[in-house]
Amino acid sequence: MKTQDSFTPRVLIADDQADVLEALRLLLKSERYQIETAKRPVDVIKAIEERDFDVLLMDLNYTRDTTSGEEGLDLLARIQKLDSTLPVVVMTAWGSVDVAVEAMRRGASDFIQKPWDNARLTTILHTQAELGQALRRGQRLEAENRVLRDEGKPKLIAESPAMQPVLQIIDRVGGSEANVLITGENGTGKGVVAQTLHAMSARASKPMVTVNVGGLSEGVFESEMFGHVKGAFTDAKSDRVGRFEMAEGGTLFLDEIANLPIKGQPKLLRVLETGEFERVGSSKTRRADVRIVSATNSDLAEEVSAGRFRQDLLFRLNTVEIHLPPLRDRREDIPLLAAHFLRQHARRYRKNMEGFDPAAMQALLKHPWPGNVREVDHVVERAVLMALGATLEARDLGLQSGREVSRRLEDMSLEEVEGFLIQRTLAQCDGNVSRAAEKLGLSRSALYRRLQRFGL
């Protein structure tokens, strides 16, 4: 049988007898196969480690007077670990069906008895080579599809020692139904952790709905969370589905949970305890099947002590607590984060960027990062837009020390001064929005609006 011109299989032949190797070499060469030979199991392993083959034709015995096939079966097991997609056709000189069956059970694709039939041998080799090619193409396609599917998934970048306990907790509870409370300063990546928990859970195919609780006033909280029916209040022109119904079967992420209005807390607690709620203006009780993940930059124990947060609600929210360290405590992750955001924004703005020059990377490592990971994102995005070359330089980053900024306050616009003052106050308050708002003479909701406006 002649092989197709479009496909010239590369075959590795393994046998300890030189005359067998030569006979097979001459046969397969005439069929236009590419051939390599090996006389010992160690040579087989070395060849597979160094080069790709489309099929392996191997004897099961390599020691004279040995007929058990154990050497070949052991070799087959090692080959399976090295390359499970490589088709293996085994040979046995003794016509032992039991050994051949055992080889097939351990992963061999087919078998040949010595002396072989030339036509049958070449047919089996070509068929197995084509099947191996198809299997590898399928695996590559699956890998490419997996990458495409994963593009929209969260990217949790964390290799520093400070983040290892976080990763361990995420790994343990990600697939569970437990409610999780994520704490940490603004910009530390609480939202990414929430997305990761959702992606790891059995609810991943269902929606994850995010609510910024800090941005909800008492007047709209109940309608936003539970929905309302037409005519429930003046502006209720039609029925509206609330966030709990939107997240049915999935995850509800309650961001800035510490700022939940005090009057809304017992209503949320009831849903967490019973799974039941009613839309505003309706007496029909509905059931919610959602997992709750919440986040805050505040000390909820302190909020409970001050009477601003219900302790029983806190118990329901923090079945497991995950605390994210600030970026200043995980500086080993700065180069990784910067490289990630560089690729992201270079792709977004269609710019060919190669990386950071040494001075730029040094500036990134020295910066205090009061805005944490979110600030890195904004700084790198600005740098990508400002860069004239393919390599980002320190001047592209626009990072300045407090002293340098203070000297230039007179050159700033009022909006720039306000942004700088908010950023500095947040840093002084260790990212605590409530304390920063009090220090700035703003309400928490007013400060939140400014934080969103300035990308902080």
**pLDDT of residue 3 exceeding 50:** no
What is each CA distance from 359 to 218, 391, 395, in whole angstroms?
49, 11, 9
Work out the average pLDDT over 14-29. Answer: 90
**pLDDT of residue 20 exceeding 50:** yes
Q: What pLDDT band is residue 36 in, cutting at 50, 70 and 90?
A: very high
Work out the average pLDDT over 102-125. Answer: 88
Q: What pLDDT band is residue 4 in, cutting at 50, 70 and 90?
A: very low
**Domains in the chain and their CATH numbers?**
10-148 (3.40.50.2300), 162-325 (3.40.50.300), 328-453 (1.10.8.60)
Percent of the chain with pLDDT strictly greater than 90: 43
* Residue 13 near residue 22 (C-beta atoms within 8 A): no
Work out the average pLDDT over 361-368. Answer: 92
Q: What pLDDT band is residue 430 in, cutting at 50, 70 and 90?
A: low
Q: What is the pLDDT of residue 379?
A: 92
Q: What is the pLDDT of residue 230?
A: 85
- Provide the terminal-to-terminal Cα distance of the chain, rounded to the nearest Å: 70
